[in-house]
Amino acid sequence: MAHGAGGKASRRLVEGLFAPLLFASGSEPLGDAAHLDFSGTRIAITTDSFVVKPLSFPGGSIGELAVNGTVNDLAVSGARAEALVVTYVLEAGLPTPVLEAEVRAMGEAASKAGVTIAGGDTKVVEHGKADFMYITTTGIGRPLHGVRVDPRSVRSGDKIVLSGPIGDHGITILLARGELDLEADLRSDTRSVLPLVEAMAKATGPGIRWMRDPTRGGVATSLNELARDCGLGIVLTEEKLAVRDAVRGACELLGLDPLHIANEGQFLAVVAPEYTDAALNALNLCPGGEEGRVIGEVREQPAGAVLVSTRYGGSRIVDMLVGDPLPRIC
Amino acid sequence: MAHGAGGKASRRLVEGLFAPLLFASGSEPLGDAAHLDFSGTRIAITTDSFVVKPLSFPGGSIGELAVNGTVNDLAVSGARAEALVVTYVLEAGLPTPVLEAEVRAMGEAASKAGVTIAGGDTKVVEHGKADFMYITTTGIGRPLHGVRVDPRSVRSGDKIVLSGPIGDHGITILLARGELDLEADLRSDTRSVLPLVEAMAKATGPGIRWMRDPTRGGVATSLNELARDCGLGIVLTEEKLAVRDAVRGACELLGLDPLHIANEGQFLAVVAPEYTDAALNALNLCPGGEEGRVIGEVREQPAGAVLVSTRYGGSRIVDMLVGDPLPRIC
């Protein structure tokens, strides 16, 4: 299960097995979407399978995740989603209303995100396989003008911006499974972050050096990948991280770090220092971006690692997610 | 299971549930790939999930199917695959050599088909939930010059060309499951049909009115969909259909019609009569296209249906596939 958790084991699987056998060139850092040249037109493309359990939860369902997740992967690669294609692997005996609810959720999420669904495919497998349904969404998009996301362009002194509170999605799923005797008024943060990204891009274009949506593996894993790809250190200020009480409480009970918990409607950006005020201003003015903050900065040291300075003057290294404390989160 | 078999129930599901909730316009006939306008550049896109059981079989495996199936869906929509993205839903406990074999098979099939793999995603689900693995492949492609595939352009008098013998893939899978006490020297026909389509397109460009790869549901289902979409009748000459002895034998034993059995390396084309000789000539000269033949023609009657005239002077209507005699074929 750890190989699917988006942390260390996932990265080893991708770098050790998939990339050498599938990808022509291993020199580019792995991003959220590939940008290709197509007869002179740049196209961004990304694909994701969704296997979240349960199918629906406070604040969303697999259908919305499948649209928003793909729109967001394009957004943080610096592209606006234009069209999606989708496949459903359905379990025999799936009640039609369950399927219809998710198809409807996808249609509505797509319409909200301003993206067309251009086609799809359906397969049916035997009862007991596929936990009702797995959905795979692929999106193609158009690069945002003037935005170029590349971890190799990150410099010491750049600021780390985070769009809002962390851990809502992961802890919501955990609670929705009902395996813990915990209740909290918490909802998944699933949404399209494209409007936020576009607002920031418009205000700061070339000032954005890198973006990522910290889904599986959380903020810590995304920033560790960045640290590795740019060879610099990331230093976070713990008190700047917004964490709701319900998320903090559940994490404390379970011995989890909110920095490792999945988000579905947040994004991280590295912004050149001279553009930080403009970026933050644009983000905060955009509906849904009010809680965006600078949470840290890039430094020469600790090279390749993420350090969190705590509110009591201490500091700790935060690694990528190891193992899989919360399987099947998206 | 019938809803996943590619026949009548699948079509009802797509037309009754998916299309109204997901697709903006329901007026275009449903094809194998969508063609989109992207800043003035035409892009074809298609997506498919693969859930074949068993994972490997004589002549191929899920990894090859996942590449060739997507390349072929683009080819018969009149486009050359340029890039693929792929997702794997893996079952916990899957032996690494099994995964590696399929990733390797995908890499090799992609290289053979001349297409790049640009990215991907991996999810892991619990043991028992995904029959080892499900693969989803999405392809984007560039339209072939001068080719325009549209069932509404089909005219009475047009000829139906089929690229080779039918039923090899479906019967191979059936035998590979070992549930029947049958043995035969038979292999899946999985391959990229792009070279054949390109050879024909080069020879006849505008003479090609429609194409499809008769996978799930077989030749009968593809031609019934065509008959419905163009409102004309399709008349096949049974003795022109190439069917290997092993396929014919297995079908007779099981009460199946080879016209309903899935193919993974064949395609159907409707060609304007004045271009038929050139099309067939180009197809037969291309390696792997030697067994291409004209198998019938388009007539005014029986409108919206497919008629097979048998070698003894009789005739029978062949409907779309109903039910699912061979589940999980691709």
pLDDT digits (tens, 9 = 90+) for A28-52: 677 889 999 888 899 999 999 999 9
Could you tell me if residue A4 is inside a domain? no
> Is residue B79 domain-shared with residue B160, that is, in the same domain?
no
> Is residue A309 domain-shared with residue A208, that is, in the same domain?
yes
Conformational region of residue A39, where left means phi above 0, alpha means psi within -120 to 50, and beta covers everything else: left
The CATH number of the domain holding residue A117 is 3.30.1330.10
Phi and psi dihedrals of A267, rounded to 5?
-145, 155
Residue B144 in this model has a pLDDT that exceeds 90: yes
Contacts of A129 in chain B (CB under 8 A): 128-131
Residue A182's pLDDT band (cuts 50, 70, 90): confident
Contact B119 A45 (CB under 8 A): yes
> Is residue B156 domain-shared with residue B281, that is, in the same domain?
yes
- pLDDT for A30: 75
> Is residue A305 domain-shared with residue A179, that is, in the same domain?
yes
Could you tell me if residue A133 is inside a domain? yes
Give B86-125 pLDDT, tens digit per residue: 999 999 999 999 999 999 999 999 999 999 999 999 999 9
Contact B128 A128 (CB under 8 A): yes
Stretch B126-155: mean pLDDT, rounded?
Answer: 94
CA-nearest residue to A32 within chain B is: B119
> Is residue B134 domain-shared with residue B157, that is, in the same domain?
no
Disruptive mutation site among B123, B135, B326 for chain A (greatest number of A CBs within 10 Å) = B123
What ipTM describes this predicted complex?
0.94
Could you tell me if residue B105 is inside a domain? yes
| Mean pLDDT for all residues in chain A | 94
- pLDDT for B148: 92
> Is residue B177 domain-shared with residue B245, that is, in the same domain?
yes
> Is residue A286 domain-shared with residue A308, that is, in the same domain?
yes
Kindly report the pTM of this predicted structure.
Answer: 0.95
- The neighbouring-strand residues paired with A36 are A43
> Is residue A208 domain-shared with residue A289, that is, in the same domain?
yes
Give the one of A34, A89, A122 whose C-beta lies nearest to B118's C-beta. A34
Give B182-206 pLDDT, tens digit per residue: 888 899 999 999 999 999 999 998 8
Residue A205 in this model has a pLDDT that exceeds 90: no
Q: A270 is in which domain, residue-wise?
A: 151-317
Contact B110 A22 (CB under 8 A): yes
Give chain B's domain count. Answer: 2
Q: Which of A263, A257, A271 is nearest to A310 (CA)?
A: A257
Residue A184's pLDDT band (cuts 50, 70, 90): confident
CA-nearest residue to B84 within chain A is: A45
Give B34-67 pLDDT, tens digit per residue: 999 988 899 999 999 999 999 999 999 999 999 9
Which residue stretches of A126-193 are H helix?
Answer: 168-176
Residue B27's pLDDT band (cuts 50, 70, 90): low
Could you tell me if residue B230 is inside a domain? yes
> Is residue A166 domain-shared with residue A238, that is, in the same domain?
yes
The CATH number of the domain holding residue A275 is 3.90.650.10
Could you tell me if residue B206 is inside a domain? yes
More confident residue, A117 or B181: A117
> Is residue A204 domain-shared with residue A301, that is, in the same domain?
yes
- Which of B91, B121, B143 is a domain's end point? B143
Could you tell me if residue B8 is inside a domain? no
Give the one of A117, A131, A136 whose C-beta lies nearest to B22's C-beta. A117
> Is residue A111 domain-shared with residue A195, that is, in the same domain?
no
Phi and psi dihedrals of B124, rounded to 5?
-120, 130
CA atoms within 13 A on the CB side of A201: 21
Stretch B134-157: mean pLDDT, rounded?
Answer: 95
Using CA atoms, how far residue A10 sits from A173, A221, A323, B122, B314, in Å, is: 20, 11, 10, 8, 60
Contact B258, B166 (CB under 8 A): yes
Could you tell me if residue B329 is inside a domain? no
Could you tell me if residue B164 is inside a domain? yes
- Which of A143, A175, A202 is a domain's end point? A143
Q: How close A167 gets to chain B, by Cα (Å)?
A: 20
Residue A1's pLDDT band (cuts 50, 70, 90): confident
Alpha carbon dihedral A121, B327, B248, B212, in 10-degree steps, equals 0
> Is residue A312 domain-shared with residue A252, that is, in the same domain?
yes
Contacts of B34 in chain A (CB under 8 A): 83, 85, 118-119
SS3 of residue B67 by DSSP = helix
Contacts of B64 in chain A (CB under 8 A): none
- Which of B90, B109, B143 is a domain's end point? B143
